Copies of this chain bind each other. A is one copy, B any other.
Amino acid sequence: MHHCMEMGMDVHKVVPPPYRSTFQKLKTKFKETFFPDDPLHQFKGQTSKKKWILGAQYVFPILEWGPNYSFKLFKSDIVSGLTIASLAIPQGISYAKLANLPAIVGLYSSFVPPLLYAILGSSRDLAVGPVSIASLIMGSMLMQEVSPSKEPVLFLQLAFTSTFFAGIFQASLGFLRLGFIIDFLSKATLIGFMAGAAVIVSLQQLKSLLGIKDFTKKMALIPVLTSVFQERREWSWQTILMGCCFLALLLLSRHISMKKPKLFWVSAGAPLVSVILSTLIVFAFKANSHGISVIGELPKGLNPPSWNMLQFKGSHLVLAIKTGITTGVIALTEGIAVGRTFAAIKDYRVDGNKEMIAIGLMNIVGSSTSCYITTGSFSRSAVNHNAGAKTAVSNIVMSVAVMVTLLFLMPLFQYTPNVILGAIIVTAVAGLIDIPAAYHIWKVDKYDFIVLVCAFLGVIFISVQEGLAIAVGISVFKILLQVTRPRTVVLGNIPGTDIFRDLQHYKESTVSVPGFLIISIEAAINFANTTYLNERILRWIEEEDEGEKHSSVRYVIIDMTAVSTIDTTGITLFGDLRKAITKRGLELVLVNPLAEVMEKLQKADESNELMRPDTLYLTVGEAVASLSMSMKNQASNIYNEEMQKQQQQQEEKPNVIDSSQSE
């Protein structure tokens, strides 16, 4: 390297990162994996009293905003709370039906969980209660083993039990800081899954919309449609007429609210209005004796305790746990996505892991007070936000409204027709089919679109939970495929600069540097891609050889700027490459290994072959500049040597032949 110095060129040394012990490194990695949000940050440098207060506020966010609560905020919250109550009551009853549970359980679930969330939750906009997707999944999974019509008590017990396990699972994810698990449900998966679920739910509602009594218990498209057309005799025109009218009314109100967001109360109030209207009609015309089925009598009073109904043994325990985990994950995904969406709009932050604990505790307590799985609902939270909710007090207001209903208004629902509940569900889930988002995904990333379609088709043709599993599987497979086949590109120089960029991408502005093959590896190197990278890089070299008749390449430079980590298998790549490259008479040069890679290379490379200063540079530019110069020097040296040899050969010709024979 001395010649560079002579020329005044500044070559920067590649150095290993400052020493840190294994323990320190593990600690950092652990912290970054499980505490990326640094939750203890705010406690730093506080007095111990302040620390206690902050700790209490961390566990009970209500202590944070409660003291500053004002009458002005309350005025907003009462309006929004009553608005979402008008939506929550009909939806609660409907969603309970979707889960094959008694309608009253839907109302119970709209009373206790919102109260708990108001104390524990950190979102100001989340409206908590039963939601359509989780209800659907719980209903369909439990139905695999137990019939809700034949063994209603056992079914209810299992629903509470799986709600309990869902809560345990959710809270554990939060406690164990494993919240990132829900990130594995990608946007594409969710859009496909939601759309599929919406189709399935809507089809299921044909039962109540057409007034069919003997309906299939299955969830997939084909059995449902078969059931619909086989039971054509059971279709009741009164039910169909009523259903169509109210469905049109509800969809119209939804359309109005979507067009003019200020009129959000139209769609928010429509379900309750429909329930009241339809109940009056049935009552007035005694339509329940003319083929229109009604909810029937509902018990008055608040949630009865249900901890005695939790089942921790028996043959259905595995199913209850599986159902709990599946519904728990889905409920969390919805709840946290909704919380984050509105937090981003109002510019505050929702802590994912904390939310998981809040939602988990809410479901654990819920399962012993006759509530089934609940979470933050997207549609009701949007209404809550539009109605001007300021804090979680709107959930308390809603809860009180539901309480009043439970205590005094239950007899009014006796004549509410089931068909109206079907119409409410269809209207609610119609919003889950997001065609513009699907189109956007198609435009940007075809593979993501395949994931979306698989989720959609899996849900409608196989089953809700298997469709979801397939989509998650394909998403993870995509990641593994990317890891297995990382991109490598050949870099070229932008003339007149020391910038090196992808030759294919910057076709116009870059040129390849004679004598050098510069390859950039664009991913972490590990056991799954070491073999591939080895073959691929050798192929780059071969292709370069073939391009020109006599390859002028002397140096293979590997730019490692994008190689963030490496493992023990990956490290062997460089030894193997060096051997293969040296055999071809070329030299391997590494550029800019990052901290972790540098450390591991150093530890593994006992012979210090890879770490020689003349094969390790900080930038591609410096490597090229410095090596070009030594190439020139060598060329003149070789020329001199050749001359000397020729002279020697002429002097001692016989000797040369001898030595070649002895080999």
Contact = CB atoms under 8 A, between A and B. Distances in A.
Interface of A: 10, 12, 15, 17-18, 22, 26, 32-33, 36-38, 180, 183-189, 344, 347, 352, 440-441, 443-448, 475-476, 478-487, 489, 494, 497, 499, 501-502, 504-509, 522-524, 526-532, 535-536, 539, 561-562, 564-565, 567-569, 571-572, 576, 579-580, 583, 592, 594-596, 598, 600, 603-604, 618-619
Contacts of A501: 592, 618
A26 B352 CA distance: 37
Contact of A528 (B184, B352, B596): B184
Contacts of A528: 180, 183-184, 186, 479
A17 B504 contact: yes
A440 B604 contact: yes
B568 A479 contact: no
Contacts of A569: 186-188, 448
Given A17-B505, A185-B527, A505-B594, 10 more contacts: A15-B506, A15-B508, A18-B504, A183-B528, A186-B526, A186-B528, A344-B579, A444-B568, A444-B571, A482-B526
A184 to B, nearest CB: 6
B485 A184 contact: no
Contacts of A507: 18
B527 A186 contact: yes
Contact of A600 (B444, B502, B504, B539): B444
A347 B390 CA distance: 72
B32 A568 contact: no
Contact of A618 (B26, B499, B532, B596): B499
Given A352-B531, A448-B568, A526-B479, A502 B594 contact: yes
A193 to B, nearest CB: 13
B482 A524 contact: yes
29 contacts: A10-B497, A12-B509, A15-B505, A15-B508, A17-B502, A17-B504, A33-B485, A36-B532, A37-B535, A37-B539, A183-B527, A183-B529, A186-B528, A186-B568, A187-B527, A188-B527, A188-B569, A352-B531, A443-B604, A444-B568, A444-B603, A444-B604, A448-B568, A448-B569, A479-B526, A479-B528, A483-B483, A501-B618, A562-B562
A443 B603 contact: yes
Contacts of A475: 527
A295 B504 CA distance: 67
Contacts of A567: 186, 188, 445, 447-448, 478
Nearest to A340: B531
A339 B476 CA distance: 31
A502 to B, nearest CB: 6
Nearest to A37: B535
Contacts of A579: 344
A499 B617 CA distance: 12
B183 A530 contact: yes
